Amino acid sequence: MTWLEGNGRDTPPAGERLQALIDRPEILGVPGAHNGLAGMLAKEAGFEALYISGGAVTATLGLPDLGVMTIEELCFITRQVSRSTDLPLIVDGDTGYGEVLNVMRTVKELEHAGAGAVHIEDQVVAKKCGHLNDKRLIPPEDAAAKISAAVKGRSHLRIIARTDAAAVEGLEGAIARANLYKEAGADVVFPDALPSEVDFRTFADSVPGPKMANMTEFGRTPYFTAEQFQDMGYDIVIWPATSMRVAAGAMQELYAHIRDHGGAEALIDKMPSRAELYETIGYYDYEALDEGIAKSVVPETPGE
């Protein structure tokens, strides 16, 4: 059944569905999906929740991850992935797109777009990727006020408090901030860019409640598996920008090949077929909604 028909079921709000996944004993693995098709492919692979990365979305817009993306652009991608997958989404809310009132609006807009959770970080604007140098933080009390405002503004959205303090104030600073954000009402805490297993374990032992880890590539964090993060005390692990990076690598190869060889036939085996892509996006289900549309027949590939 298609999105136009309501995806076939009357479901609880996304935040409640996400909470049910977090409450399970095994860690929740959440890959990034930078657009609707990526989300559908992740769902086909069996994932039950998805992540919308600010860094991945800004890259697809041809922009740097410096807080220049707008809430409207973030909500567009969130709606796109939500309606195409009907999965609960964890969304990167950056700094909340402003101060207390802006944070409350961000929460409302993301709920309407289909999100199940948002994380708000404690950097100033212009913010940086958590794995880069010389990040600047707002005072912990101001960050806690943003978390409190997010909790006040939500109806079902889960609120994740991200702290970038480990590289600025040390691990103890990150722990202190995370506990303050928990007191402000955060459902989950998220220490970004921890550089070692010892740091992850120490943080987990020092902060109660659910915790999220970020397994990004090319960052400060060593490569750990979901099972390793679970053993360290984490309940959620995200792979935020991986889908965008893999897609970008494939496109680099494609464009170089077309430039050098005058065509893309040699890369056919790396592409989903037209039939496979139609199956993923439910093409025939949409056609069937209009009796005036003849069912499409996929053309035979020349030479077969």
Determine the pLDDT at residue 8: 52
Dihedral pair phi/psi, residue 125, rounded to 5°: -95, 130
pLDDT in tens, 195-225: 999 999 999 999 999 999 999 999 999 999 9
Question: Which own/partner pairs from 57-66 qualify as long-range (CB within 8 Å, at least 24 positions apart)?
Answer: 57/92, 59/34, 59/241, 59/244, 59/248, 60/34, 60/35, 60/244, 65/127, 65/128, 65/129, 66/126, 66/127, 66/128
27-247: CATH superfamily: Phosphoenolpyruvate-binding domains (3.20.20.60)
Residue spans of the chain under pLDDT 70: 7-9, 302-304
Rounded Cα–Cα distance for residues 117 and 109 (Å): 12
Element (H, E) at 204: helix 197-206
CA dihedral 298, 81, 11, 289 (to 10 degrees): -30
Rounded Cα–Cα distance for residues 170 and 167 (Å): 6
Determine the pLDDT at residue 304: 47
Determine the pLDDT at residue 12: 93
Determine the pLDDT at residue 75: 97
Sequence spans of domains, the chain? 27-247
Determine the pLDDT at residue 23: 98
pLDDT in tens, 23-54: 999 999 999 999 999 999 999 999 999 999 99
